[in-house]
Amino acid sequence: MAQSSLYPVDEQQVQCTAVRAQGAGGQNVNKVSSAIHLRFDIAASSLPEDVKTRLLESGDRRISREGVLVLKAQQHRTQELNRAAALTRLQALVDAYSLPPKPRRPTRPTRASKMRRLQDKTERGQVKAQRGKVQDL
């Protein structure tokens, strides 16, 4: 991993399993188990509690009900490259949830934006009024 992370993932807590890759690839894909299934138990990891909580509450479909994150890497032809890719993706996910989200500060629309909105509504209403039935006088 090239850049330093706030909370580096301990590779001892990651379980990697080699499986056969899906998709096109000829004979090689049928006989070589080069894809990697990475399993990371969030609750049992050494991550800080607030990071664990944010990860578990994220609603990510890759996280099971038991709190295990499952990633599959099959972009490369070798296990080593797929394992490195899976670990990089895991670290990126942890980094994304390592900092708390910025609190939202409610704002109010400006006076000019209110005036523009009302002007647009008036113009739109005039256009729609022109669509009525034509009456002979």
Going from the C-alpha of 69 to that of each of 33, 40, 45, 107, 117, the distances in angstroms are: 21, 5, 11, 37, 46
Q: What's the count of helices (H) and strands (E) in the chain, helices before strands?
A: 4, 3
What are 43's two structure tokens? Answer: 């609750």
Domains of the chain as residue ranges with CATH: 11-96 (3.30.160.20)
Least confident of 14-18, 21-25, 58-62: 21-25
pLDDT tens per residue across span 62-119: 888 888 889 988 888 888 899 999 999 999 988 988 888 899 999 999 999 999 999 9
Q: How confident is the model at residue 28 (pLDDT cuts 50, 70, 90)?
A: low
Output the average pLDDT for the chain. 85
The contacts of residue 76 (CB under 8 Å, 6+ apart) are 34, 82, 85
pTM, two decimals, is 0.68
Here the tokens at position 17 are: 């399993």
CB 37 within 8 A of CB 70: yes
Cα dihedral 37, 41, 46, 51 sign: positive
SS3 of 102, please? coil
Confidence bin at 29 (pLDDT 50/70/90): low
Asked whether the predicted pLDDT for residue 1 surpasses 50, the reply is no
Q: Contact, 5 vs 83, CB < 8 A?
A: no
> Please, what is the end-to-end C-alpha distance for the chain in angstroms?
81
